């Protein structure tokens, strides 16, 4: 600023001492005057920038501090939700199962509504038909189980005859090992008392539901809760919109959630049907009795994550053990199921399931591990749709865009304005609307 004022004072002096005339300065004098003036302007601009930098530095520091606090709060909220889901697992599983079934049954209720049935009556009909189908399936499974129990002694004798040569070899090895140990004299040892711990896999199976009574309570409550959700569908959408204070598009979120869940179930049905048909044809080809139920069970068990391959091998191998004595059918069964599992994992599941839930394989695997640890087998069954639900929630808010891209099957480009925060965008919108030559939407 002082340099600028000094340049202004020097301008009349350069004009007064001009050798040509009293008011016209020489080119050299003009260049000197302009140079002094430019140096003054540059100095003033540098001082202004230093002042502005000093003014904005506390704001940037506070913004960084707020971002760190927001990150810590997000981690704290996620931890609290995880603890709540772990200790209130029966409540969470009941609500999630009821909402899952309500979304699946809603198209049937809509069809009955088009036939001029009230929504409450249509929902009741759909729920009762579902309970009847589940009861019929349970009765069939119970009948098969009782038949198996009655024929179990015959199967046991056949299994003993099949493994008798192997057991004889094991006994001979144990006898020879005992003779070797008897030749060596050992000092007398105090007998040790060994305590057998109960296996942990039953506790893992019922994790989340608590106990058998907890599972029965959940099974009794889910149909009623599903019925109430179907009856109050429109009211629930309005209440969700009021809860979010119209900050999110509730209708769009609900539509995406319905599409994701129905696509997930449809994709599993397609993959399971293909696996069941292929396995049934293979079992019929080797001449196995009961190929249809064994093939259906094998196709459905193959859908389970991580343990699907092992569990899908159990029914056909158990059936083959009771019917065949040559190794040929066992080799065919193992190789065929292994090939079908590889095809489904690399072709069918990415095509019919992954594209419908829009989550990547790494995110799905981590989700299966997390939900399986949290809720056991029920968490394994619901892991993929729950992980996709987390992604849908992350899509609602721009600040959760990195989390959405972390879970997504294909990364979407992040808009540049997201990194500046909502407050900056809110301040910039009136500026763009007030610019001349701009349309109301902000486009040129």
**Model confidence at 413, in pLDDT bands (50, 70, 90)?**
low
Q: Answer whether 93's CB lies under 8 Å from 208's CB.
A: yes
**Model confidence at 255, in pLDDT bands (50, 70, 90)?**
confident
Distance (Å, rounded) from C-alpha 67 to C-alpha 69?
A: 5
Distance (Å, rounded) from C-alpha 378 to C-alpha 208?
A: 7
The pLDDT of residue 430 is above 60 = no
SS3 letters across 35-104: HHHHHHHHHHHHHHHHHHHHHHHHHHHHHHHHHHHHHHHHHHHHHHHHHHHHHCHHHHHHHHHHHHHHHH
221 and 264 both lie in a single domain: no
13 and 92 both lie in a single domain: no
The pLDDT of residue 159 is above 90 = no
The pLDDT of residue 17 is above 50 = no
Longest dimension (CA), the chain: 133
150 and 107 both lie in a single domain: yes
- Of 333, 357, 381, the position where a domain reaches its end is 357
Distance of CA 252 to the CA centre of its chain: 19
Rounded percentage of the chain residues whose pLDDT exceeds 90:
17
Question: Which range is most confident: 56-60, 183-187, 398-402?
Answer: 398-402
Distance (Å, rounded) from C-alpha 371 to C-alpha 377?
A: 9
Q: CA torsion angle for 412, 416, 417, 420 (degrees, to 10)?
A: 110
| pLDDT per position as a tens digit, 305-330 | 778 888 888 888 888 877 887 888 88
- Asked whether residue 191 is domain-assigned, the answer is no
- Asked whether residue 137 is domain-assigned, the answer is yes
- Of 357, 380, 396, the position where a domain reaches its end is 357
Angle, vertex CA 352, rays to CA 348 and CA 358, nearest 5: 120
Q: What is the pLDDT of residue 162?
A: 66
Task: State which residues form the domain around 37.
Answer: 4-48
Distance (Å, rounded) from C-alpha 248 to C-alpha 235?
A: 17
The pLDDT of residue 36 is above 50 = no
* Cβ-based neighbour number of residue 178 at 10 Å: 9
Mean local confidence (pLDDT), 368-379:
87
Q: How many domains does the chain have?
A: 3
Q: Answer whether 127's CB lies under 8 Å from 117's CB.
A: no
21 and 98 both lie in a single domain: no
* Cβ-based neighbour number of residue 230 at 10 Å: 23
Q: Answer whether 127's CB lies under 8 Å from 226's CB.
A: yes
Q: What is the pLDDT of residue 139?
A: 84
Distance (Å, rounded) from C-alpha 278 to C-alpha 299?
A: 8
The pLDDT of residue 38 is above 90 = no
pTM for this predicted structure: 0.69
| pLDDT per position as a tens digit, 43-81 | 554 555 444 444 545 667 877 788 788 788 888 988 899
Please compute, for residue 324, the number of CA atoms within 13 A of its CA located in the half-sphere on the CB side.
Answer: 18
3-state secondary structure of 288: coil
DSSP 348-391: IHIIIIIHHHTB-HHHHHHHHHHHHHHHTHHHHHHHHHHHHHHH
**Closest residue by Cα to residue 283 from 339, 344, 329:** 329
Mean local confidence (pLDDT), 75-92:
89
- Asked whether residue 212 is domain-assigned, the answer is yes
| pLDDT per position as a tens digit, 274-307 | 999 999 999 898 888 888 888 888 888 888 877 8
253 and 225 both lie in a single domain: no
Q: What is the pLDDT of residue 216?
A: 82
Which residues lie across from 408 on neighbouring strands? 359
The pLDDT of residue 28 is above 60 = no
Q: What is the pLDDT of residue 277?
A: 92
The pLDDT of residue 89 is above 60 = yes
Q: What is the pLDDT of residue 200?
A: 59
221 and 110 both lie in a single domain: yes
350 and 224 both lie in a single domain: no
Distance (Å, rounded) from C-alpha 20 to C-alpha 99?
A: 95
297 and 325 both lie in a single domain: yes
Dihedral sign for Cα atoms in the order 203, 208, 212, 215 = negative
The pLDDT of residue 254 is above 90 = no
149 and 220 both lie in a single domain: yes
Mean pLDDT estimate for the chain: 75
213 and 255 both lie in a single domain: no
DSSP 234-275: HHHHHHHHHHTTTSS-HHHHHHHHHHHHHHHHHHHHHHHHHH
- Asked whether residue 200 is domain-assigned, the answer is no
* Cβ-based neighbour number of residue 335 at 10 Å: 11
| pLDDT per position as a tens digit, 224-235 | 999 999 988 878
- Asked whether residue 112 is domain-assigned, the answer is yes
- Of 294, 325, 357, the position where a domain reaches its end is 357
**Model confidence at 206, in pLDDT bands (50, 70, 90)?**
low
Q: What is the pLDDT of residue 441?
A: 42
DSSP single-letter state for residue 439: -
137 and 95 both lie in a single domain: yes
| pLDDT per position as a tens digit, 160-179 | 676 677 777 777 777 776 66
The pLDDT of residue 374 is above 80 = yes
**Model confidence at 431, in pLDDT bands (50, 70, 90)?**
low
Q: Answer whether 208's CB lies under 8 Å from 374's CB.
A: yes
Rounded percentage of the chain residues whose pLDDT exceeds 70:
67
- Asked whether residue 195 is domain-assigned, the answer is no
| pLDDT per position as a tens digit, 98-149 | 999 999 999 999 999 999 889 999 999 999 999 999 889 888 877 777 776 7
Q: Answer whether 103's CB lies under 8 Å from 257's CB.
A: yes
- Asked whether residue 181 is domain-assigned, the answer is no
- Asked whether residue 148 is domain-assigned, the answer is yes
264 and 336 both lie in a single domain: yes
């Amino acid at each position: 600023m002082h340099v600028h004022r000094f340049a202004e004072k020097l301008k009349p002096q350069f004009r007064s001492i001009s050798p040509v005339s009293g008011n016209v300065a020489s080119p050299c004098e003009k260049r000197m005057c302009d140079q002094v003036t430019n140096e003054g302007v540059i100095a003033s601009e540098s001082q202004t920038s230093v002042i502005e930098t000093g003014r904005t530095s506390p704001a940037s520091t506070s913004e960084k501090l707020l971002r760190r606090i927001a990150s810590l709060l997000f981690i704290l909220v996620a931890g609290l939700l995880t603890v709540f889901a772990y200790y209130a697992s029966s409540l969470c599983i009941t609500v999630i199962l009821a909402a899952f079934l309500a979304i699946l049954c809603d198209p049937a209720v809509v069809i009955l509504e088009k036939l001029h049935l009230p929504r409450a009556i249509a929902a009741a009909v759909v729920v009762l038909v579902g309970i009847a189908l589940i009861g019929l399936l349970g009765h069939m499974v119970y009948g098969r189980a009782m038949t198996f129990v009655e024929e179990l002694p015959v199967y046991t004798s056949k299994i003993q005859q099949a493994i008798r040569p192997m057991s004889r070899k094991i006994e001979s090895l144990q006898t020879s090992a005992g003779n070797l140990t008897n030749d060596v004299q050992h000092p007398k040892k105090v007998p040790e008392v060994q305590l057998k711990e109960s296996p942990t896999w039953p506790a893992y199976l019922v994790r989340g539901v608590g106990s058998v009574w907890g599972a029965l309570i959940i099974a009794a409550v889910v149909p009623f809760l599903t019925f109430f959700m179907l009856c109050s569908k429109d009211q629930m959408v309005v209440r969700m919109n009021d809860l979010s204070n119209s900050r999110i598009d509730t209708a769009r979120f609900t539509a995406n959630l319905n599409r994701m869940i129905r696509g997930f179930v449809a994709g599993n049905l397609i993959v399971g049907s293909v696996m069941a048909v292929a396995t049934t044809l293979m079992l019929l080809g080797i001449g196995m009795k009961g190929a249809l139920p064994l093939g259906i069970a094998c196709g459905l068990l193959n859908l389970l994550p991580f343990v699907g391959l092992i569990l899908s091998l159990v029914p056909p191998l158990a059936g083959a053990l009771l019917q065949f004595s040559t190794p040929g059918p066992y080799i065919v069964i193992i190789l065929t199921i292994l090939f079908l599992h590889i095809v489904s994992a690399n072709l069918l599941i990415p095509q019919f399931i992954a594209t419908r839930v829009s989550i990547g394989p790494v995110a799905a695997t981590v989700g299966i591990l997390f939900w399986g640890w949290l809720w056991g087998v029920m968490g394994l069954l619901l892991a993929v749709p729950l992980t996709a639900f987390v992604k849908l929630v992350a899509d609602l808010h721009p600040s959760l865009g990195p989390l959405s891209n972390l879970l997504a099957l294909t990364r979407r480009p992040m808009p540049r304005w997201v990194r500046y925060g909502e407050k900056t965008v809110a301040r910039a919108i009136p500026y763009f609307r007030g610019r001349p030559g701009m349309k109301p939407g902000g486009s040129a």
